[in-house]
Amino acid sequence: MTQTLTIPRPDDWHLHLRDGDMLAAVLPETSRDFGRAIIMPNLVPPVVTGDQARAYRDRILAALPEGDDFTPLMTLYLTEDTDPNDLAAAFESGLIRAVKLYPAGATTNSASGVRNFENVRPILERMAEIGCPLCVHGEVTTADVDIFDREAVFIDTVLDPLRRSIPGLRVVMEHITTKDGVDYAMAGDDTLGATITTHHLIINRNHILVGGIKPHYYCLPVAKRETHRLALRAAATSGNKRFFLGTDSAPHLDHLKEHACGCAGCFTATNTMPLLAHVFEEENALQNLAAFASQNGPAFYGLPVNTATMTLTKQDAPVAFPNKIPTPNGPVTVFDPGYPVYWNVT
């Protein structure tokens, strides 16, 4: 029997589009399904000023396939040299919707990130005054902290003290991967939200390491134990307003993923919505997919829910998603959940 589910058109509250040829190749994979997306600013060089954000937005719009209705929501990359006045002008004009905090060295193209959090305190206080959200890559980068503990340590030693000292600051805990992150978000007030990726609902660290290293499952923050994955699934499918979709879809050329020092990131833009329908059905929570993918994010960012709709249909035969997205410089591998998926966008 055919099953269908219609929800408001979803948004992606954490997306990497890159630039140039890569941007042109991967943008259609997002703009086909999503109405809006928070665009990550970690280009080389990073997007650190309002003028740079405007120029990047214009390049995205120029690459948009004709007929696609998609709005890029721009961000600035926080550095210790960020100009608070430029940031405030960009936010108050509507040019940007948030500012991204990368601890220096935490992930791809994060070398320009923050090393001393005291140096950005005046900037964060200004953001709290004007209501500009801070999107946080929540991991410490000190060498003595195990990679599987970096999120929990960040919450305890950086995020919680920061929020206590600047209580009006609106914060998005991006791509949480632990029960610690779930618990902290659930205990927060309306100034706190958390995004969860598609792939962290599907894989744990065994998927990366058992039976050989699987580079296309390697991401940062790295997937954790099964107990953490189950906590993420419970949070995402609960309908709780603190949690919303941020795919962290991150395209890398195959030869840079399948490498002695491979890049971190899973490319999920192509098949995120069918995969989410599969997960939510497994959790008997299809009724909450709209909250996670379409409603909670706009509510946090103070935006209206999209008026357009998306219909997902469960079919009898598995959906054949593309394995690769071609680019002029080589292919990008689409995330493979490792099992057949019967839901598709129709």
Q: What are the tens digits of pLDDT across the range 231-254?
A: 999 999 999 999 999 999 999 999
134 pLDDT above the threshold of 90: yes
How many CA atoms does the CB half-sphere of 90 hold within 13 Å?
29
Residue 316: per-residue pLDDT: 94
Burial of 264: CB neighbours in 10 Å, binned 0-12, 13-18, 19+ = middle
Poorest-pLDDT segment among 21-35, 64-78, 115-129, 312-326: 115-129
Percentage of the chain exceeding pLDDT 90:
94
∠ Cα 241 244 249 (to 5°) = 175
pLDDT higher than 80, residue 177? yes
Average the pLDDT over 148-173 and give the result. Answer: 96
Active site residue 248: yes
In 3D, which of 274, 286, 200, 203 has the Cα closest to residue 239?
A: 286
On the CB side of 177, CA atoms within 13 Å amount to: 26
Catalytic: which of 69, 86, 248, 254? 248
Judge if pTM exceeds 0.85.
yes
C-alpha distance from residue 5 to each of 1, 100, 168, 232, 310 (Å): 13, 33, 38, 22, 8
The predicted model gives 297-321 an average pLDDT of 97
Query: Which numeric CATH code is attached to 3-345?
Result: 3.20.20.140
C-alpha 130/C-alpha 264 separation (Å) is: 33
Range with lowest mean pLDDT among 20-29, 104-113, 145-154, 267-276: 104-113
pLDDT of residue 295: 98
Sheet harboring 3-8: ordered strands across? 3-8, 309-314, 343-345
Q: Pick left, alpha or beta for residue 83 (phi over 0 → left; psi -120 to 50 → alpha; otherwise beta).
A: beta
Average pLDDT over residues 51-55: 98
Who contacts 211 (Cβ-Cβ below 8 Å, separation ≥6)? none
Instruction: Parse the chain into domains and list their residue ranges.
Output: 3-345
Residue 115: per-residue pLDDT:
83
Long-range contacts of 86-90 (CB under 8 A, 24+ apart): 86/49, 86/50, 87/50, 87/123, 87/126, 87/127, 87/132, 88/126, 88/130, 88/132, 89/50, 90/49, 90/50, 90/53
pLDDT at 2: 58
